[in-house]
Structure formats: structure tokens, C-alpha cells
Amino acid sequence: MSAPAKKTAAKAATSKKTAAPKQTAAAKKTAVTPKKSATKAATKTAAPKQPAAAKKTAARPETHTALVRRARKINRELAEVYPYAHPELDFENPFQLLVATVMSAQTTDLRVNQTTPALFAKYPTPEDLAAANPEEVEELIRPTGFFRAKTRSIMGLAKALSEDFGGEVPGRLEDLVKLPGVGRKTAFVVLGNAFGRPGITVDTHFGRLVRRWKWTDEADPDKVERAIGELFPKSEWTQLSHNVIFHGRRICHSRKPACGACPIAPLCPAYGEGETDPDKAEKLLKYEKGGFPGQRLKPPQSYLDAGGLPAPPLAGREA
């Protein structure tokens, strides 16, 4: 074979050898690609849908600034859903609210509201209650549970009001917490709703929801109060408490929250803990959201205008 012919043959062999790996790699890539696409598609199909906020929260830690913005947006949304949010204890003056709040421990506001009319009819002032027969008071408030301990507390605070404050409920936190059976939660209920002085009411609903929303990890009520107070202007504290508590009682329940009927689902990192099907979630709604009576025998007119129904009086007693 001549030299030019040998050179041409060598060149052809080299080209064939070089092209082979490229073809194999391309074929291998072609064979693998559909498998990856199928796996990706299957994963995408199987993955449950979550609100955008929940995905973002899971992706990276939330900054304090982002937390403040999210918390305040939730409160604005709740204010639109519950423009009639209010304290759910019936009262006509600071003394009645103070006594009713102390009695609400370990029971519902509804049960307290069904019980206090007879109590206040017989003992309308601190002086009257302080001079009452303990056994008679116990019998009147028996439906609220723990009636002996509650009798000691409300008679003790009535005596303190009579002797130390001229029969008037003080409007200062430091004075209120000195009264028997009165802690910071009770004091803020009275200050915020009887005196118009801002305060955060950390009851079981409030504490549960702010932890569920990742506003704080604290469990101690005093620490929760301080943590949430840093997220909102002081002027919003009282109404914030009403908004959160209303939501906890109506939609965001403890054991089975109605996630599918929740107006703030896109902002909630705990979305999916409860029922997500809209139709099933709607059946979990309580009070006016579910078409049922509320907790007050004499609710505000705004609540009635929104479709809320007054609670029935205690059986066998006049409201």
C-alpha cells in the first residue's frame, strides 16, 4: 500500500474510533433521560400541595423582620374575618368583668355567662359579695366547677376592693395582681376591656395559636406575652388578643383545626395539621361561622349584625 493510502486509512480509523464514544454517551444519555423525567414527574404528582409561605418557611429560617411582617399580616387578615371580635364574658362594669374572669378558669365563658346573672343580681357590689354567706355563693357558682376555690377568690377580691380601694376596681396592673385569684392574664382582660388600656391576654387559645404560627416557641404565659408584645404596637395588643382567641375558638381548634376553611392558610406554617378538604373543614366551624350560638347571653350588636346568635340562659334560671 502506498504512503498516501496508508495515511488516509489511518485517518479514517481514528475518526471512527473518536466518534464511537460520543455516540455511546449520547445513547446512554438518551436512555437515562426518560427515567429521570418519569421519576421527577411521579414525585411532582405525589407531593401534596402546601401554601407558598409554608414552603418558604421550611426552606430557610425566617428572619425577625419577616416574622414581624407575617404576624402583622395575619392579624390584619383576622381583623377582616372577625370585625366583631370582642371579650366573650358578659359584663356591665369593671367589677363584673373582674369576677367573671376569675370564675372563667377551667371552664367556658358560656358557662360563666350562664351563671353570673344570678350572682350579680344578689351581690351587685364588692361590699355585698364580701359580706355574703360563702355557702350561698358556692351554690350559685357551682356550675362553673372548682366552686369552693373560686368562692374564696371572688369573696377575697371583693373584700380587698372594699377595704383597700373604696369598693372600686383599680385601673393599674400592679394593683390588680395583688387581688386574690388575679394574675396578669386576668388583669389584662380587665385593663383592656374595662379601662381601654392595652394588654395581651395569653389564654390557652392564644398560647396554642401563636406557637402553631411560629410567632414564639415559649410556653410560659409571661414569656409568651413579652415575645408577642415585641411583634406588635402596644395600641394593638387588646384587639390582637380578641382576634386570635376568636380564631382559635372558631376555626383553628386544638385537636382538629379546620385548615381547609382557614382564611390565613397561606400564611400558616402549620397548614395541613387539620382537615384540608374545604367541605369537611366547613363542618368543623363553630359559633357564628358554623351557624351556632355564641358564648354571650348579651353579645354586642355588631356580633348580632354579623349573624351571631346569643347563647341560651342556664336551664332553670333567669338570664
Phi/psi of residue 309, each to 5°?
Answer: -115, 140
Is there a catalytic annotation at residue 203? yes
List Cβ neighbours of 70 (8 Å cut-off, separation of 6 or more). 53, 62, 267
Which is the catalytic residue, given 203, 214, 280, 286?
Answer: 203
Dihedral angle sign, alpha carbons of residues 86, 87, 90, 94: negative
Helix-helix angle 147-164:134-141, to 10 degrees: 120
**Residue type for 294, please?**
G
Residue pair 87/142 in contact by the 8 Å Cβ criterion? no
Cell of 207: 398560647
**CA–CA separation, 71 and 73 (whole Å):** 5
C-alpha cell of residue 163: 377595704
Cell of 112: 360563666
* Residues whose CB is less than 8 angstroms from the CB of residue 174 and which lie 6 or more positions away in sequence, other chains included: none
Q: Clarify whether 185 is annotated catalytic.
A: yes
Backbone angles phi, psi at 80, to 5 degrees: -75, -35
Annotated catalytic residue: which of 90, 109, 150, 185? 185
The C-alpha cell that represents 99 in the structure block:
369576677
Q: State the cell numbers at 266.
A: 397561606
Picking from 253, 246, 204, the residue whose alpha carbon sits closest to that of residue 224 is 204
What is the DSSP code string of 20-77? HHHHHHHHHHHHHHHHHHHHHHHHHHHSPP--HHHHHHHHSPPPHHHHHHHHHHHHHH
Are 49 and 265 in contact by the 8 Å Cβ rule? The answer is: no
Spatial separation of the C-alpha atoms in residues 155 and 103, rounded to whole Å = 11
Q: Which sequence positions are flagged as catalytic?
A: 185, 203
